[in-house]
Structure 1
Amino acid sequence: MEHQFRVVIIGAGIAGLSCAKYLIENGIDDFVILEAHDQIGGRCQTMQLLDHQLELGAESLHGEISNNPLYRLAEEHHLIDIDDRGSDRDDCYHDEEAESIDEDVIDEVRKVYDEILEKKVAAYPYENYPDISLGEFVSAEIEQYINIKKVILDKDELDEQQKVIDWLSKQHPYLNTIGCNKLTDVSVQGWNSLERLPSNNQYNDEAVYMYGGFSNFLQTVFADQLNENQIELNTIVKRVSIREEEQYVDIEIIKNNQELITTYQAKHVVCTQSVGCLKQSMHQMFIPPLPHAKRMCIQKLAFGTVNKIYLGYSQPFWDVDFQTFNFLWDTNDNDTELQLECFAKTSFTSDWCKSITGFHVHPRLPNVLVTRISGEAAKYIETIPDDLLAMAFQELLYHFYPDNQTPKPEQLIRSRWFNEPFIRGSHTFIKIGSSMHDIKQLAVPWPNKPAKPLILFAGEGTHERFYGTVHGAYMTGIREAKRIIELY
């Protein structure tokens, strides 16, 4: 036996790092974190562009110092970075005919949509009703609104409203934290269990970022508190074998892509892999297999994908009085789908395009445009080469905003979360057929004996109220560290 530890933590994302930090603060330093990638962070990943940071994963802090522990940590380390410049620039909304849509229409529909998501969905009495999808619920509420509008609006005006509804259903700030393919995949009961942190902080409603990016935050607050030998990068866990009678666990690893397998031994293993990673690896990784109830909850939970794309230009080609350039697609399914010319002699299709809802100017890089894409479309464009994807975005921008002489971007920086082999997506969400009880079940140690937990589970997918969030992942790492500390 080469190495023995009290605790082995799988994964150096924020759940694994918070677990390690809490163990050290409470007198346990006999542990190691095993990370498959060549850097810490998991789904928090910062890239440098000029003197600014681009976040490929987590970007800003939710809530405020009273309800988000990450907020407090960032303030303690003087890492709060406020985008306090505000913006008096305008938002631009064009449809497929490049016709402008009045912002008053946008504001009216957005207000209705917000009321549905924030008030009516939250009041849904799920104890007394069968579960339905969030898409069905929102559609039923929107239909009532449209029926009222039919009395006073003509067909063109109704079509315009429908375009706005479709646009909101793809890009609403609440919804693009899920990564689902469509809202009919999402359980209303599950949506109700996701808690959004209210914000009434001293910075008003300005976006709250981390100075130097999330990667700097993780390095400063967590990794710098650990000894160098307590994090092993480029270390892939192949097998986790429970020796329940002997009360220890064998962990077989491969380091630096070599074939040689090394075995570590631990009294406890904290698994912080994503739900997407567990879906892919659980059958081969655990010996004996995970209990049936735990395997079922992993299979039932959904793991979505949200990817970010940054387009860099030497200088803005757009009117600098505008902050966003939104795409409001035609919702008439009988119309011909857009076919990008740049794909004409390739095997790639243009079906994913309608998942792009537009671009906004990066708040601190005035020559960079940013967009997000989620669901199956996000997975699909990961297969498109950078150069070809850059041409596709050039076409899309010109299609909706032909008055701008759109050049090909000089830089394209993007995330590819689905094809990260040890992540396989970006966000856990509760789909139809699953519930918060599956998240609770995933969080249960194995064996489920309070005095003898050998395998423990952490990560955003194990927090029933804050799944899909960085603060949720952080809290679960501490939860499992406390569970271990109480044993000693």
Structure 2
Amino acid sequence: MSSLSHRGREARIVIVGAGFAGLSAAETLVKAGFQNVQVLEAMGRLGGRIHTTRPFSENIIELGANWIHGQKGNPLFQLAQEHGLLSEGDSARIMCQPHSVTSHDYFFREDGTQIPTEDVDEVCCFFRQLTSRAFESELEERHNGLSFGGYLDSAFSESPLATLNDGPKVFEWCKRIECTDEASSSLYDVSVSQLGFYIALEGGFFNCLGPGGYQALLDLLLKSLPPEAVLKNQAVETVQWDLKAEEQGQEQWCPVRVVCENGESYEADHVIVTVSLGVLKERARTMFTPALPKSKLCAVERLGFGTVDKIYLQFSERFWPEDCAGIQLVWNQGPEDKDVYSCDCEGESWKDTWFKKICGFDTVARHPTVLCGWITGREALYMESLKDSEVRDVCVRLLKSFTGWSVPEVSRVLVSRWGHDPYVCGSYTFIPPGVNAVREHEALAAPLPAESRYPKRKPLQVLFAGEATHVNFYTTTHGAYLSGVREAQRLISHYTDKTMNSSECT
């Protein structure tokens, strides 16, 4: 019979970060019987890259993560389903598929004319076929050494669709949309050969949450924790680990010490670090004493971490048709075009056309007069530096020039700024060309020190969780959640008494 040892119940565990990774780790530990679990959150709110807010009405807006990706094997989908937190009905289905072209999407050329849906669908269908081959590791040998963008360009150039008048322009739109999935400035920054390690779970790719949004799922996790277990406004400055001291002539291992920016400190037997890869890129070399091993620092450096932002516009009245689920912008020459990207990547001229990275404006569930624009990469970071009013004016100009419709006054604008958030520094992970995804994800997830490699050292002093540490589910909320459970289970296994009772021996 296996049970948590007394030493385990008394073990002090500090968790850095109260996103899905940190809260799932805390919940798992508390349910297993650990009695000293403390979660430290740098922000004044909980959730990390989950940010459910109500700026326009009593209905929610998601500034961060929007959907649950997949169903089978997805613990967040199962949790939402069990507690009745999912949206239902046709309207929810439409709102949950912003990156899937349907008859409800209106595509406009730069000259203000509309592209027939059947023409758009033909190109988008081919684009989905190409991306599916990449994610299912069905690439031809000649494509393996290319970037994601290079592979797509090569395959598309051989298609008859490349000769159609709108074909290349719609294909560029598809690439811009894919950038929001990859959180990259360009698909030329993403490895195509490593995409196959990402696993898309079965079921609807976009599963919408109901009126409570992602906050309702966070609340379920928080209910299982003692109120005092989670502290806000506790930004961690340093994690001091692998420390030794002399006591009565003998060398003793000291507890791990977590020091916050406000001067408060916490001693622990184990610390689970769940900060984003973006934060690690900024602070990995200064946040830990002694320094992290080279393998982990290299993983932090080699993995990509990009920014995806949203621009919410609330209008005084609805001006788009009832059957319109999105206004998509198709440029004559977009920022994802290889020649344009190659010319601009070293210069600053792209800042003059940052708005070309906005794919379009989608309708928002339960908000009849709100549109949401998506922007990613370096253009998103530049947009974050602008005033809300300037972003608003540019978006209104785009809507007017592309559609030719009469666009009413914007009553309110809400812009996310994940790239400049000091406690996030971006949105989620991608794999650059030349990077071994499995090796770097595993190096990032490796605990310090590992039990088996360093038997004389105090084991599992610092553990790591978060979407960037998951080989197959990086970028996703369920990847973050499962990584927290993984590290909690690592500690549970470490403290479990594996003894058998007499009945099991006979």
| TM-score, normalisation: structure 2 | 0.84
Q: How do 1:236-275 and structure 2 match up within 5 A?
A: 236-245=235-244, 246-255=253-262, 261-275=263-277
Distance across 2 between alignment mates of 1:143 and 1:198: 31
Q: Which residue of 1 aligns with 2:345?
A: none
Q: Which residue of 2 aligns with 1:27?
A: 33
Pick one of 185, 192, 195 that aligns with 1:188: 192
Q: CA deviation at 1:92?
A: 1.3
Per-residue CA deviations over 1:441-486 (Å, capped at 9, x if unaligned) read 1000011224711100000000000000000000000000011111
Per-residue CA deviations over 1:282-312 (Å, capped at 9, x if unaligned) read 1111011000111011001100111111100
Q: How do 1:339-354 and structure 2 match up within 5 A?
A: 349-354=351-356
In structure 2, the CA distance between the partners of 1:323 and 1:75, relative to structure 1 (3 Å rule), is closer
CA-based RMSD: 2.4
Q: Which residue of 2 aligns with 1:56?
A: 63
AA paired with 2:298? M
Contact 1:390 1:408 in 2 (8 A): no
AA paired with 2:428? H
Distance across 1 between alignment mates of 2:25 and 2:206: 30
SS for the counterpart of 1:111 is helix
Pick one of 36, 39, 52 that aligns with 1:46: 52
Q: Which residue of 1 aligns with 2:97?
A: none
Contact 2:86 2:207 in 1 (8 A): no
Contact 2:123 2:161 in 1 (8 A): no
AA paired with 1:194? Y
Contact 1:84 1:206 in 2 (8 A): no
Q: Which residue of 1 aligns with 2:172?
A: 166
Distance across 2 between alignment mates of 1:471 and 1:126: 31
Distance across 2 between alignment mates of 1:243 and 1:91: 56
The answer to whether structure 1 residue 81 and structure 2 residue 58 are counterparts is: no
AA paired with 1:184? Y
Q: CA deviation at 1:129?
A: 7.9
In structure 2, the CA distance between the partners of 1:247 and 1:159, relative to structure 1 (3 Å rule), is farther
Q: CA deviation at 1:195?
A: 1.2
SS for the counterpart of 1:277 is helix
In structure 2, the CA distance between the partners of 1:149 and 1:370, relative to structure 1 (3 Å rule), is closer
Distance across 2 between alignment mates of 1:74 and 1:332: 39
Q: CA deviation at 1:433?
A: 2.9
AA paired with 1:328? V
SS for the counterpart of 1:352 is helix
SS for the counterpart of 1:312 is strand
Q: CA deviation at 1:225?
A: 1.4
Distance across 2 between alignment mates of 1:353 and 1:128: 34
SS for the counterpart of 2:418 is coil
Distance across 2 between alignment mates of 1:332 and 1:211: 36
Contact 2:316 2:408 in 1 (8 A): no
Distance across 1 between alignment mates of 2:275 and 2:412: 32
Q: How do 1:328-347 and structure 2 match up within 5 A?
A: 328-331=330-333
Distance across 2 between alignment mates of 1:206 and 1:184: 25
Distance across 2 between alignment mates of 1:15 and 1:309: 26
Contact 1:427 1:468 in 2 (8 A): yes
Contact 1:348 1:384 in 2 (8 A): no
Per-residue CA deviations over 1:298-356 (Å, capped at 9, x if unaligned) read 0011001111111001211233342221110002899xx9xxxxxxxxx9953211101
For structure 2, the residue ranges without an aligned partner over 5 or more in a row are: 1-9, 95-101, 245-252, 341-348, 496-506
Q: Which residue of 2 aligns with 1:229?
A: 228
Q: CA deviation at 1:130?
A: 5.7
The answer to whether structure 1 residue 72 and structure 2 residue 78 are counterparts is: yes
SS for the counterpart of 2:494 is coil
Per-residue CA deviations over 1:362-401 (Å, capped at 9, x if unaligned) read 1321111111111111111001111111111111111101
Contact 2:311 2:372 in 1 (8 A): yes
AA paired with 1:420? D
For structure 1, the residue ranges without an aligned partner over 5 or more in a row are: 256-260, 338-346
| TM-score, normalisation: structure 1 | 0.87
Q: CA deviation at 1:210?
A: 4.1
Give the fraction of aligned pairs with identical amino acids, expressed as a percent: 32
Per-residue CA deviations over 1:227-246 (Å, capped at 9, x if unaligned) read 12111100011111113440
Distance across 2 between alignment mates of 1:392 and 1:216: 34
Q: CA deviation at 1:82?
A: 2.5
Contact 2:134 2:195 in 1 (8 A): no
Q: Which residue of 2 aligns with 1:93?
A: 107
Contact 2:69 2:206 in 1 (8 A): no
Distance across 1 between alignment mates of 2:290 and 2:321: 61
Q: CA deviation at 1:265?
A: 0.7
How many corresponding residue pairs? 452
Contact 2:135 2:197 in 1 (8 A): no
Distance across 1 between alignment mates of 2:399 and 2:352: 14
Q: CA deviation at 1:408?
A: 3.6
